[in-house]
Amino acid sequence: MKTIQIQSQIKRLFEEDQNDRIQLRKKNYSSKKLWTILKKNDERRRNAVNKILSNKKIKLRGIDYFRIGVVFQHGGTTQTTAQAKLFAQKGIALGHDKSKWLYAAATDRLLLMQNKKQKFGTQYQKNAEGQWKLMPVSPSTIDAERKKYNVITLQKARNMAKFLTKREQKYSYLKKVGQTLRK
């Protein structure tokens, strides 16, 4: 397979990953069914990426490593998240700027999986009351380091949790009355 075809295939897998997260949430699936479908689709995409990567002669760009990293970031295990971090590092090494944020997000997710505080402040979780909360962040990382990895300041991250909660509440209300949010 030619490099351009491989790059197109990686792009398609990345776009499927992103579209799944948007389109499946629009359906009225239970949380359990939603995650069952996502998990199955994510595994299929990772398998396809692994098949692509088995060809050691291919030459990938930074954006390709970023896209692969996002696919692996959604794997939900320490192994797939560690792989996402490695792919992000490869993307950074090739000059792809968005890979910096992915590196930070994968680092944070790995730390949380190890029951540690996140470093950058990229990870949120919804609590039992339906409010979004920024997961615990280590105080040792300063905003200058966050900026280096294209991550918002810690204060903006805290504000983002409040914004997500308000948006979710508005969306839930509109959904009840049969309307949708407009972008």
Residue 3's pLDDT is: 84
Residue 77 has pLDDT above 60, yes or no: yes
Is 26 exposed, middle or buried (CB count within 10 Å of its CB: 0-12, 13-18, 19+)?
exposed
Residue 183's pLDDT is: 44
Residue 5 has pLDDT above 50, yes or no: yes
Task: Taking residues 56-69, report their average pLDDT.
Answer: 94
Q: Work out the percent of the chain whose per-residue pLDDT is above 90.
A: 72
Mean pLDDT of the chain: 90
Model confidence over 27-38: pLDDT tens digits?
A: 877 888 888 999
Q: Work out the percent of the chain whose per-residue pLDDT is above 70.
A: 92
Q: Could you write out the three-class secondary structure of the chain?
A: CCHHHHHHHHHHHHHHHHHHHHHHHHCCCCHHHHHHHHHHHHHHHHHHHHHHHCCCCCCCCHHHHHHHHHHHHCCCCHHHHHHHHHHHHHHHHCCCCHHHHHHHHHHHHHHHHCCCCECCCCCEEECCCCCEEECCECCCCCHHHHHHCCCCCHHHHHHHHHHHHHHHHHHHHHHHCCCCCCC
The CA-CA-CA angle for residues 172, 173, 175, to 5°, reads 65
Q: What pTM value is reported for the model?
A: 0.87
Residue 182: pLDDT band with limits 50, 70, 90:
very low
Q: Which residues pair with 126 in a beta bridge?
A: 132
Residue 168 has pLDDT above 90, yes or no: no
Rounded-to-integer distance, Cα 14 and Cα 150, Å? 20
